[in-house]
Every structure is written in C-alpha cells, then in structure tokens.
Structure 1
Amino acid sequence: MAYVTSLFARKMVAAAGRGIDQRATLERAGIDPDAPWDPKVMIAATTYYEMLEGMAEQIDVTELPVHVGASMRCDEYGALGLAWKAAPTLKASCSRVDRYARIWTGVVTYELRNDTRGILFMLHREGERRLGLRLSNEATLASAVSLSRQVCPVPFSPVEVLIQHKEPKSKVFHEAWFGCPVHFGADLDAVLISHEAMERPNILGDEGISRYLMSDLDTELTKLKTPPQVVGDARNAIAQALNEGTPRVADIAKGLGMSARSFHRRLSEHGLSFQTLTEETRRELAEGLLRDEQYSLAEVAFLTGFSEQSSFTRAFKRWLGTTPAHYRKAKLMNAFPTSQIKH
C-alpha cells in the first residue's frame, strides 16, 4: 500500500515557511490544515511526492529535507517513537524501526547491515527516483540522525551518510548538520553508525516499558493485515463509482449510510484519507483491468475515472513507473513477477 504519514507532509510545509501558501498546499494534498497533527492519518505517496515537487517550483528546497529531519521528535511518532526512546541501545531502537515501519509508511522498508566500520541503517524505497522521492529520502535519513541524537547520552554523529541520487547544487549544509561526510551518487541510501554508538545505552532505555510498547505495536501490525469493513466497503463503492468520474466523498458516504463527517472520521481511525483510498482503488482496479485483454486502454481509462487516456497514462506511470501498455504486455508475457513492479 503506497502511503506515508501526513506528519511528514505537514513538517515539510511548516519548514518551507512563508515561501509557499501553506494552507493551499496541504489542502491540495488532501490534508485538513485545521485538523490535529496525527501520524496515523496517511496520504498517498504519489500525492506526497507531487506536493514536494510543487514546493520546489516555488522555493529552493536544497536544505529543506535536512531541516525537516532535524525537526522530527520521538514523541511525534506515537507508540513507535516511544519504543525507539525506551529501547536499551541505539541498535535496538533501529531494529524496532526495521520491524514496525509499516505502521507509518507503505513505501519504505529498513534494514540493518554489518559493515567493517559499523552498522548501516539502510532505507529501501522503490519507484522512479523523481524529485519528490529524493527529497523524501534525504528527510528520512536526517530524521534517523535526529532521533538518534535525542536518545544518545553523548553528542552523536554518524560515520558517514550515503545517498543514491546525484548531489544537489551544494552539500555544505548537509555535511555541517550531519557532522560527517555525505556521499551522493552512492550505491545505497543509508546512515553508517559506529559499533560503539550502536551499543551505547540510551538515555531513557527501559526494558519494562519497551516490552509493553512493542506488544502494542505488534497489535497495530496485526490490524494492518486485514482491512476493516468500512475500508473494504468504501473501496467497493469507489470502484463502482469510478466509471462516472472521480467520486465525491459525500456520495460515497451517503451510499454507506453515514455523513461525510462520520465517514472522514472512520477512515482517519484507520490511518486513511478519502483521497488516499480513492487513489489506491484506482491503481488496483487499473492493474486488474489491464491483465484482462478484453478491455482496451481507452476503456480501462474510462472505468478508472479518467476522461482522457493521456491523463490515465500519466497517472499510471506515476503509480508504477511504467506505461499501461508496457505493464499489460509484460504481464501477458510473464516478463517479470508482480514483486518487481514498482508500487
């Protein structure tokens, strides 16, 4: 499921300051500017990337992801942030992110890998390396360092930072903030942390609290495996309405027997927005229809709510990194397994 927490989007907008219309930017991303900041409220990853790219057209975003990463606080991540803080060592903190990251993102996975100079805290994010994704990766790595500094009893800096995409016009601010060399154009996205720093006890490490929080997080992971009925019903209603264009939240809510306000609240309880759910339903429906040769590309575009095939093609390429025609051909020829398609 291609989503990210709206917390990241709100942080990016806040860090941009007066250089953008903050309220309008959030609204275009499907985020209510007046609602409380809730990390469990999700938005589609593609929507997030588009938001960042729109901001880049208005302001210089070179330093923006580092500012955002630096602003992240453990407590803002809910139970996961508390579990990070309560872990006995920094290595244990990183391990918990590796295990529970799915609770707040569906596009990034983490991995700890041994290196001769320490341990690599790596992030993996599939998809076209568009500007929005690149900025998001930088912010994620900066967040990891910021959270590490909040639990480390002594001043903390990584050994080095590795970033796959090309270097921005300047990396001076990056290296000054990280306190170590930052290598762009690398083979992976990671923060290299020394063994000593990884094994150093955290300031507030507490095994008892830690076990309690991990139990709560395990429960959250279990909930992710089976979509609640309201989400399943909403997906079906959206899919049926798409052939009439982009569905309206009021119409879907009415069909489910509830007000738009109640519908929004029920979705937010499960970390979803109506825009995110609609985007995901469109993508999943498009993938299914493209695997059936009886539907032309124009018909697939119509059935997924697009008035023009060109608009559908652009959206599909944004979702999966390939065109509908190429996706269909590859699927029909069994050119590659589903796991290799970019989501």
Structure 2
Amino acid sequence: MQQLKDYTGTVYGGLGHLLYAYSQTKGLLISERLKQVQNLERFDFSIWRELLNEIALQVSSPALGLEIAEFVQPKHLGIIAYIAQSCDTLGEALARYYDFHRLIYDGSPLKVELSEKYLAIRWDELPAHLTTQVTDEIALALMVQFLKQFLEFEHIVIHEVNFTHALAKNLNFYERYFQCKVRFKQPKVELIFPINFLSTPIKHADQTLQSLLKQQAQALLEKLPHSTQLDERLQQSILKGLQRNNYQIEDIATQLNMSVRQLQRHLQSQNTTYQQRIQQVRQILATQYLQDPHLSLHEIALLLSYSEQSAFQRAFKNWMGITPQQWRQKTNK
C-alpha cells in the first residue's frame, strides 16, 4: 500500500455538522476550526481527526466515537442514506454502501471479504499517524447506527468487531454497544457479519425516502391522462432503479412481469417512450433533491444515475431553461 504513504483523503461535510450537533448538545466549546468546516462540502481527513481530538480533550467518554455516532441523522451522510433506504435487503444496502463509501468517508479504503459463513467489511491499514481509536470507532459505529436508525433494524447481528489500537478503556462498554465479541490490537479494523443476516429485508414503513418516493410517484401519475396500477408500479420501479443505477428497460420489464415489447406497447398507447418516461422521472426527482441543501450537484447526479455531473447539468437546463444551481438559488430565496 505504498501509494497511501502520504494519503489523507477527505470526509463528507455532513460529518462536520454531526460534530457540531454533538458539541452543542453536550455544551462543549465549539472551536473556530469546527465552525469553519460547517460550510464546506468536503474537508481533509486530517482536519476530521484533529476535530475529534479537540472534542476528546473536553469530554470523558469510555468510547467517544460510539457516543458521537448516536447523534447521526440522514443529512449527515447524504447520498448513501437516500440510496440505502430504497434497498430491499441488508446485503443490497451494504453493497451500495461499499459502492459509494468514499463520498462519506475517504480516510480509509473500504474492503469487503466474503467467506462461507461471514462477510467482513474492513478498512485498509493506514499509517499510524493518520488514525486514532476514535476515528476507527466512529467509522464502525456510523455504519451500525446507519443500519439501526435509517434501515430500522431492531437488532443488528454482528459476529465480531476488530480494532487495531490497544484497548484503553472498558471492554464491556464496546461489547454492549456492538452486542458481540470485540477484539483489540488486531491486524484490521473490521465489522464481521454472518452471511445469513444479509438476506434480512429492510423495513420501508415510515421511511423518509419511501414517503418521498410515493409523493414523486403520485406527482408523476397525476400528469398521466389515464393512470393505472401498471403505471404506478412502473414509476416506483423507475424511481428505485435510478437510485440503484439499474433502470434498463429489460430489468424494469422483468420486475413488472412483462416482456420489453409489452411495456413498449403500453407506453406507446400513452404517446410516450421509455426514455421519455425516464427523463420525466429524473426531472421530478432533480427538483426534489435540489431542495435538500445537504446534497451537492455531484451527489444528485449520482442519485439520478448520470455518469457525470455535466450530463445532469445539461439535461436540467434543457428541462427548466436554467442551471441546477440557478434553480436552487431561485427556489431557496
């Protein structure tokens, strides 16, 4: 891993908001450095580490990273919260987390290793001066809180948790938090899940994203001259497909138990095409996402399955006559 020798990477700006929210709640002194990162889309991993160190000097906690992670909200993680909430199983959500983890936490490259019984999610070892026990704690705890809060898992089944640093405080605190064996001074920082836990379905009831999807689907249906149950299912499939980057007509038709030709004939009867319907869905989604100040244009482009931000910007200008940034500024006045 020689290329990582001088690597620091960056973290998502929402994590700075997380530290601010924690500090405010705890009545801590908020440093100028922490104030400065509040308006940044991303900031250096080295600054993230230093901000955590500043907070650690003000509090006495058996595991500070675990405590901070309990304050996390979807806005602190951005795009991954939106995408994972639309997944069907834990395994699919973790796959999306793997796909996009660098958008949140670029301090450590994420690796996934599958064995016969377990799936290990681990962070490659970085030079010792770049990590602390707290940075490792919060990386693991954010994923656990992510599963508990955003995906509504009442009980997270973890086989084992490993840290590279030596145990400085009470082991029982860590094992109560993770509900499994926790080991220190190990070669890797990792969460190990039993394979059979990955098939656990995700609860969609009362999820923010699911509610948003339904509103968007309804808005689309209202624009159709003769909406049907098939149209509703089609909109839902396209909405989810865009977020998973899996929206080709063959895949959508399969989900609807139709042939591609049958789906094309249905759309033709409404004087539209599949590509036109995709663009219609993208336009409505784009205006919804642009109202969320925590989502950058790059993240919105990814949510809409554009390979490049510039492609999204061109499409939006064709739809609305102005750029996404101009629309956002105009709407949020």
Q: Which runs of 4+ in 1 moved over 6 A?
A: none
Query: What is the aligned partner in structure 1 of residue 197 from structure 2?
Result: 197
Query: What is the aligned partner in structure 1 of residue 293 from structure 2?
Result: none
**Contact 1:12/1:64, CA 8 A, preserved across alignment:** no
Q: 1:41 to 1:137 in 2, by over 3 A?
A: same
Q: If the length of structure 1 is used for normalisation, what is the TM-score?
A: 0.55
Q: Are 2:28 and 1:20 aligned?
A: yes
CA drift of 1:220 comes to: 7.1
The one-letter code of the counterpart of 1:79 is I
Q: Are 2:34 and 1:31 aligned?
A: no
Q: 1:12 to 1:41 in 2, by over 3 A?
A: same
Q: Are 2:128 and 1:128 aligned?
A: yes
Q: What's the CA shift string for 1:193-248, capped at 9, x where partnerless?
A: 11221111111298654321234427577459xxxxxxxxxxxxxxxxxxxxxxxx
In structure 2, how many angstroms separate the alpha carbons of the residues matched to 1:179 and 1:154? Answer: 12
Aligned-residue identity in percent? 14
Query: What is the aligned partner in structure 1 of residue 290 from structure 2?
Result: none
**Contact 2:14/2:75, CA 8 A, preserved across alignment:** no
**Contact 1:45/1:107, CA 8 A, preserved across alignment:** yes
**Contact 1:6/1:41, CA 8 A, preserved across alignment:** yes
Write out aligned runs for 1:279-298 (5 A): none
In structure 2, how many angstroms separate the alpha carbons of the residues matched to 1:185 and 1:221? Answer: 41
Q: What's the CA shift string for 1:260-293, capped at 9, x where partnerless?
A: xxxxx99xx9xxxxxxxxxxxxxxxxxxxxxxxx
Query: What is the aligned partner in structure 1 of residue 10 from structure 2?
Result: 3
Query: What is the aligned partner in structure 2 of residue 213 from structure 1?
Result: 243
**Contact 2:69/2:142, CA 8 A, preserved across alignment:** yes
Q: 1:153 to 1:175 in 2, by over 3 A?
A: closer
**Contact 2:162/2:182, CA 8 A, preserved across alignment:** yes
| SS at structure 2 position matched to 1:98 | helix
Query: What is the aligned partner in structure 1 of residue 80 from structure 2?
Result: 80
**Contact 2:164/2:189, CA 8 A, preserved across alignment:** yes
| SS at structure 1 position matched to 2:105 | coil
Q: If the length of structure 2 is used for normalisation, what is the TM-score?
A: 0.57
CA drift of 1:188 comes to: 1.1
Q: Which of 105-114 and 43-52 deviates more?
A: 105-114
| SS at structure 2 position matched to 1:93 | helix
In structure 1, how many angstroms separate the alpha carbons of the residues matched to 2:172 and 2:21? Answer: 23
RMSD: 3.1
Q: 1:66 to 1:153 in 2, by over 3 A?
A: closer
In structure 2, how many angstroms separate the alpha carbons of the residues matched to 1:125 and 1:141? Answer: 14
In structure 1, how many angstroms separate the alpha carbons of the residues matched to 2:308 and 2:102? Answer: 11
The one-letter code of the counterpart of 2:9 is A
Query: What is the aligned partner in structure 2 of residue 317 from structure 1?
Result: none
**Contact 2:12/2:43, CA 8 A, preserved across alignment:** yes
Q: 1:103 to 1:113 in 2, by over 3 A?
A: same
**Contact 1:19/1:58, CA 8 A, preserved across alignment:** no
The one-letter code of the counterpart of 1:197 is F
Unaligned segments of structure 1, at least 5 residues: 225-264, 270-343
Q: 1:168 to 1:115 in 2, by over 3 A?
A: farther
**Contact 1:119/1:195, CA 8 A, preserved across alignment:** yes
In structure 2, how many angstroms separate the alpha carbons of the residues matched to 1:104 and 1:15? Answer: 18
In structure 2, how many angstroms separate the alpha carbons of the residues matched to 1:178 and 1:153? Answer: 13
Q: Are 2:109 and 1:109 aligned?
A: yes
**Contact 1:141/1:190, CA 8 A, preserved across alignment:** yes
In structure 2, how many angstroms separate the alpha carbons of the residues matched to 1:93 and 1:156? Answer: 14
Q: Are 2:65 and 1:56 aligned?
A: no
Q: What's the CA shift string for 1:2-49, capped at 9, x where partnerless?
A: 21123223323433454631254513xx324xx5xxxx7111111111
The one-letter code of the counterpart of 1:210 is K
Unaligned segments of structure 2, at least 5 residues: 1-7, 205-209, 211-235, 246-300, 311-324
In structure 2, how many angstroms separate the alpha carbons of the residues matched to 1:173 and 1:60? Answer: 14
